[in-house]
Amino acid sequence: KAGVTQTPRYLIKTRGQQVTLSCSPISGHRSVSWYQQTPGQGLQFLFEYFSETQRNKGNFPGRFSGRQFSNSRSEMNVSTLELGDSALYLCASSFQTALNTEAFFGQGTRLTVV
């Protein structure tokens, strides 16, 4: 069974640009969560989508947005990039049933803003 797939693996963008990251969850998983990982702040929750609806949101500015498609694939968009947005962006998918809530992470997209 294929794992969580994130594309692209690496990105270099200039300040002020925007970027879109993609996440394909494990087949059958309907929940997709996004996290930002940096050396200073660790792993921070961005938002979670379930059945195309954003259910939870972390404490990030409105420049960070996302969406989920009917096939559960999710995209995350960051507009007006800042140097501080340089990070590893991880998505995680799960079944999100009462008995099965383990989150499986993708390998991440390494975003560098210059």
Which residues contact another protein (rule: CB under 8 A)? 4, 31, 33, 35, 41-45, 48, 50, 55-56, 58-59, 90, 92, 94, 96, 98, 101-108
13 versus 104: smaller Cβ distance to another protein = 104
Residues 6+ apart with CB under 8 A from 51: 30, 68
Considering the complex, what minimum distance in angstroms separates the CB of residue 63 from another protein? 20
20 versus 95: smaller Cβ distance to another protein = 95
Q: CA 93 to CA 21: how far, in whole Å?
A: 15
Considering the complex, what minimum distance in angstroms separates the CB of residue 12 from another protein? 18
Looking at this protein, which amino acid is placed at residue 64? F
Considering the complex, what minimum distance in angstroms separates the CB of residue 2 from another protein? 14
42 versus 62: smaller Cβ distance to another protein = 42
Interior/surface letters 72-86, b for 16+ CB within 10 angstroms, e for the rest: bbbbbebeebeeebb
79 versus 95: smaller Cβ distance to another protein = 95
For 18, other C-beta atoms within 10 Å of its C-beta total 11
